Amino acid sequence: MFVELLVHGPLSRAETARRLALSPSALTKLTKPLIEGGYLLYQPTEERPALGRPSQPLAVNASRMSLIGVKLTSDEMFAVRTDLRGQIQREVRRELRSHEVDHVVAEIADAVRELSLPVTPPSAVGISLAGTASAGDPIVHTSPFLGWNDVPIGNIVAAATGLPTIVENDVRALTAAQQWFGAGVGRHSFALVTVGAGIGCGLVIGDQVVRSPGRGTGLVGHLAVDNNGPLCEMGHRGCARAYASSAAIQRSIAAALGRPDLTFDQCLALGREQQPAAARVFQEAGRALGRVVATVANITGVELVILSGEAVQMFDVCADAFDAALAEHTHWTSTPVEVVVKPFTFSEWARGAAVAALQYQILGA
């Protein structure tokens, strides 16, 4: 009931009871302790009915709790403090000068202290990173960007901060934020595909974020696209990552133009200017990404795919190639896939970590 009001509220008591198939007395029994505890509030109404008792909508008191979300990259840490509805209240950004666990934990603990003052302490910490991690398991089993294997970072941060700490794969954490407070609200199933340093996929099926403790899920980056294509860093020929990751795009354009100093943003500018080599590389990236999205939709049956990630701004350069590949590879019996493009900053990834912690606090999974 609390989740229904958190995600879809404010709702009248009648509408809340209807959505949850509860009797008025059962709803009263459930809401009473939450109202007394300050987690639910009655919203004022401007209009009163001519007859009968006024119906005041119920809403979650977003200020009743706060959470800290932390996103780790290979060289930076982004941390935010959010309220119960995932709204960012404050944020900090720190350089990671080392991948040593003690250094990273010290930076996280310092950020938590900074974000905790001068208000009440947060209720939990969420940490997201690229790698094999899942809420409920404090161990990061693998994180290639940080060079970690079997690091119990959740337990270590909990000891350093005195706060419950969950660790989650960054794409799944971002998916959780979209499920409760983003483009996925109201959708029982959807997929989130991210493109950046890698290509990832998060899934919500039947109102549940798909997780596999201790194992990876949504590993679509090395999906085969063309057996005659370029090599990725793992030696796979023609996989999606070899075409559509920011590093692959940068590498291909720099090699074609003989300009090894080119950044991804400079490559993107060349693509927008329709420089021939850059335009072709982005078209190939768009085709690869469209094939990934079609494959995800074909396998899962989702009708909405949210496209995001730090390199998603390339979509306006390769949209036509993406759309053509999506149409070509989507199964002919399927409903056309709705694609929503959502550019996000790294603060949004940190917000995802906070929402993942919130989900675990409420749902226990």
* Beta strand residue intervals within the chain, DSSP E: 40-42, 58-60, 66-72, 76-83, 88-95, 125-129, 132-134, 137-143, 148-151, 165-169, 190-195, 199-205, 208-209, 304-308, 338-341
Distance CA 303, CA 191 (A): 8
Long-range contacts of 329-333 (CB under 8 A, 24+ apart): 329/290, 329/291, 329/294, 329/295, 329/298, 330/294, 330/297, 330/298, 331/298
Q: Classify domain 2-63 by CATH number.
A: 1.10.10.10
Please give the pLDDT value at position 309. 92
Distance CA 326, CA 320 (A): 10
Domain ranges within the chain, ordered by starting residue:
2-63, 66-170+347-363, 184-341
Residue 295, SS3? helix
Share of the chain above pLDDT 70, in %: 95
Residues 6+ apart with CB under 8 A from 342: 178, 182, 183, 306, 307, 308, 312
The 3-class secondary structure across 127-140, one letter per residue, is EEECCEEECCEEEE
Token pair, residue 70, equals 């932390």
Contact present, 126 and 355 (Cβ < 8 Å) = yes
Query: Is the pLDDT assigned to residue 17 strictly greater than 60?
Result: yes
Q: Residue 278: phi, psi to the nearest 5?
A: -65, -40
The pTM (predicted TM-score) of the whole model is: 0.91
Please give the pLDDT value at position 45. 67
List 271's β-bridge partners, or say none. Answer: none
Nearest to 226 by CA among 212, 216, 236: 236
The domain 66-170+347-363 is placed in CATH, from the list 3.30.70.890, 3.40.50.300, 3.30.420.40, 3.30.830.10, at 3.30.420.40
Please give the pLDDT value at position 48. 54
Condensed to tens digits (0 to 9), the pLDDT of residues 19-65 reads 989 998 998 899 999 999 999 998 876 655 555 555 679 999 999 99
Check for a shared fold between 2-63 and 66-170+347-363.
no
Please give the pLDDT value at position 236. 85
Condensed to tens digits (0 to 9), the pLDDT of residues 209-246 reads 988 765 566 678 888 888 888 888 888 898 989 999 99
pLDDT, average across residues 195-205? 92
Please give the pLDDT value at position 296. 94
Q: In the chain, what is the greatest distance between 2 CA atoms, to the nearest angstrom? A: 78
Contact present, 160 and 272 (Cβ < 8 Å) = no
CATH architecture of 184-341: 2-Layer Sandwich (3.30)
Please give the pLDDT value at position 227. 85
Mean confidence (pLDDT) of the chain: 91
Condensed to tens digits (0 to 9), the pLDDT of residues 253-274 reads 999 999 999 999 999 999 999 9
Token pair, residue 137, equals 């398991």
> Which amino acid is located at 199 in the chain?
I
